[in-house]
Amino acid sequence: MKILMVLDHEFPPDIRVENEIYSLKKAGHEAHLACFTKQNKPLYEETDKLLIHRRKLTDFIYKSSVGCLKFPFYFNFWRTFVRDLFKHNDFDAIHIHDLPLAQIGYEIKQEFKIPFILDLHENWPAFVSAAAHTNTLLGKFLSPVNLWDSYERKMLKKADYIIAIVEEMKERLIAQGADGEKVFVVPNTVRLDEYQEVKELPDNNYVTLLYSGGIENQRGLQIAIEGLPAAIHQCSNLRLWIVGKGSYEHKLRKKAEELNVLKNIVFWGWQKPDMMFKLIQKADIAIIPYIRTVQTDCSSPNKLFQYMYAKKPILSSNCTSIERILKETEGGICYHHNDPADFANKALVLAKDHSLRVKLGENGYNAVIKKYNWDYTATGLTEIYKKIA
């Protein structure tokens, strides 16, 4: 089949999209990707995996995306772009990544009589509800949560197939009106061929906690930092590495300075995947300190499986989907999501017990090898395309 994927941001990078394209090509399909560029990337690019079609996006159109359900500018950009691609290609299916452009997928389905697959990486209404830019007075007017909620309900019925990232999200989508027979779960697991076997060893002079990923309020790093003073009081060689970038970093630095633990924290910034994985290997404990929300209770963070594959014991907040996997695999322990004292106590349990760390790390690694790897979990994706081929 010739498949057009549509992604409303720059590409690359996007690990999930790259993994899906890998599996589709492996199954014998031809993948094309439509995305925008604001960075003057080539408008057409052919790789060994797919064909990328880009169109330049102006600042005005980009900023108008926040109000796309009320004003036509953003959707019109994508309507023109995607229809132009259909003038030169006979696509057999349209695959929309995330909720915002679902309307475009449905219109193309109707116009060209092809299947429409809606791939939901996020709980978009919950994302809108939590985002800083949509909680201003103007943001609430342009992008009200209730409008996104009704839009999601509508689009779930328009799609031929729906992809969810975790079982908890599938249950939520069914509660929103989706047909359970059309929802397939494809978690954000890792491709084993992307990472080298563990070669880096932790520094015996320290017990290193590590977080990798975006740095925003909902990631909960402030809770970890608030818990550090108590943990360091009992384990003076404890330190925290934060690998990633985000708008919340300056507030974390300020909080760490106020609590006199900035000297125990290293902000590594964004790192390339190979360097990031080396840092994970050099850590002793990997953390996922997310604040519990409707979104994070239904999350499947790629870092969870990266940590497990690196044989790291995981300390996570008690978000429903993550806690379920850690209990099932016995790959880590959880603390109450907004409780710095509980974070500190659980961090100390792991910091003081090397044999427990090794046991949990081995459990997580074995779970990835047997089950939580991309080749195993991508079957939901390939099953959809078997049905519509």
Residues 6+ apart with CB under 8 A from 323: 316, 334
Enumerate the H helices of the chain as residue ranges.
15-26, 59-64, 73-88, 102-112, 124-130, 137-142, 145-158, 167-175, 221-234, 249-258, 273-282, 302-309, 320-329, 340-351, 354-370, 374-377, 379-388
Q: Which residues of 62-98 are buried (b: 16+ CB within 10 A; e: fewer)?
A: bebbbbbbeeeebbebbbebbeebeeeeebbbbbbbb
β pairing state of 238-243 and 285-288? unpaired
Based on the domain organization, do 174 and 216 belong to the same domain?
no
pLDDT per residue as tens digits for the range 35-89: 999 988 999 999 888 899 999 999 999 999 999 999 999 999 999 999 999 999 9
Based on the domain organization, do 294 and 319 belong to the same domain?
yes
pLDDT attached to residue 127? 84
DSSP string of 80-141, one letter each residue: HHHHHHHHH---SEEEEESGGGHHHHHHHHHHHT--EEEE-SS-HHHHHHH-GGGSSHHHHH
Cα–Cα distance measured from residue 106 to residue 117, given in angstroms and rounded to the nearest whole number:
9
Check pLDDT > 90 for residue 130: no
Based on the domain organization, do 170 and 221 belong to the same domain?
no
Determine whether 236 is exposed, middle or buried from the number of CB atoms within 10 Å of its CB (0-12, 13-18, 19+).
exposed
Determine whether 155 is exposed, middle or buried from the number of CB atoms within 10 Å of its CB (0-12, 13-18, 19+).
buried
DSSP 181: G
Cα–Cα distance measured from residue 315 to residue 337, given in angstroms and rounded to the nearest whole number:
11
pLDDT per residue as tens digits for the range 326-360: 999 999 999 999 999 999 999 999 999 999 999 99
- Residue 70 near residue 90 (C-beta atoms within 8 A): no
Reported pTM: 0.91
Strand partners, 94: 4, 116
pLDDT per residue as tens digits for the range 179-210: 999 999 999 999 998 877 667 788 989 999 99
pLDDT attached to residue 131? 74
Q: What is the mean pLDDT of residues 116-144?
A: 85
Based on the domain organization, do 199 and 347 belong to the same domain?
yes
pLDDT attached to residue 125? 87
pLDDT attached to residue 133? 72
Ramachandran assignment for 213, one of left (phi > 0), alpha (psi -120 to 50 degrees), beta (any other): left
Of the pLDDT bands very low, low, confident and very high (cuts 50, 70, 90), residue 139 is confident
pLDDT per residue as tens digits for the range 250-274: 999 999 999 999 999 999 999 998 8
pLDDT attached to residue 129? 84
Based on the domain organization, do 359 and 260 belong to the same domain?
yes
pLDDT per residue as tens digits for the range 306-315: 999 999 999 9
Specify the CATH number for the domain of residue 203: 3.40.50.2000
pLDDT attached to residue 198? 62
Amino acid in position 293:
T
Based on the domain organization, do 30 and 173 belong to the same domain?
yes
pLDDT attached to residue 197? 66
Q: What is the mean pLDDT of residues 210-235?
A: 96
Based on the domain organization, do 204 and 328 belong to the same domain?
yes
CB count within 10 Å of CB 210 equals 26
**Where in the sequence is the domain holding 253, given as residue range(s)?**
193-370
Based on the domain organization, do 35 and 142 belong to the same domain?
yes
3-state DSSP assignment of residue 300: coil
Least confident of 111-115, 122-126, 381-385: 122-126
Based on the domain organization, do 69 and 173 belong to the same domain?
yes
Q: Please give the tally of structural domains in the chain.
A: 2
Of the pLDDT bands very low, low, confident and very high (cuts 50, 70, 90), residue 124 is confident
| pLDDT > 70 fraction of the chain, expressed in percent and rounded | 99
Mean pLDDT across the chain: 94
Least confident of 52-66, 90-104, 121-135: 121-135
Q: What is the mean pLDDT of residues 18-45?
A: 95
pLDDT attached to residue 13? 87
Based on the domain organization, do 133 and 153 belong to the same domain?
yes
Residues 6+ apart with CB under 8 A from 200: 278, 279, 281, 282
Based on the domain organization, do 114 and 235 belong to the same domain?
no
Based on the domain organization, do 199 and 85 belong to the same domain?
no
Tally of CA atoms within 13 A in the half-sphere of 293 that contains its CB: 20
The Cα-based distances of 370 to 165, 198, 331, 367 in angstroms read: 19, 17, 14, 5
